[in-house]
Amino acid sequence: MDEPGMRTENGLFRCGFPTPDLQLWLAQHGRERLRIATYGLSTFRYFGHYLTNDALPELLVGVSGIDSMLALDLHDKPARERWQQLLNRSDYESRKNLLRMLRKASDWHQAGARIRIALPGRSRGLMHLKVYLGQDAALVGSANFTSKGLTGDDQHELLLEVHGRAVVQLCAWWKASWAAAWPIEDSLEAANAVEDLENAGSHSVAKGHLMNSGPKTLLGCWLGEWGAWALNGNGVVSYPHQLQAVE
Interval 186-212: pLDDT, tens: 677 777 766 665 565 454 444 444 344
The alpha helices in 18-164, defined as continuous H runs, are 20-29, 44-47, 79-89, 92-111, 147-151
* Chain centroid offset of residue 97 CA: 7
- Average pLDDT on 35-43 reads 92
pLDDT score, position 170: 94
* Chain centroid offset of residue 180 CA: 16
pLDDT score, position 83: 87
Interval 100-139: pLDDT, tens: 888 889 889 988 899 999 888 765 566 778 999 998 899 9
Rounded Cα gap, residues 85 and 108, in angstroms: 23
Model-level pTM greater than 0.85?
Answer: no
- List CB contacts of 190: < 8 A, sequence separation 6 or more: 80, 83, 84, 87
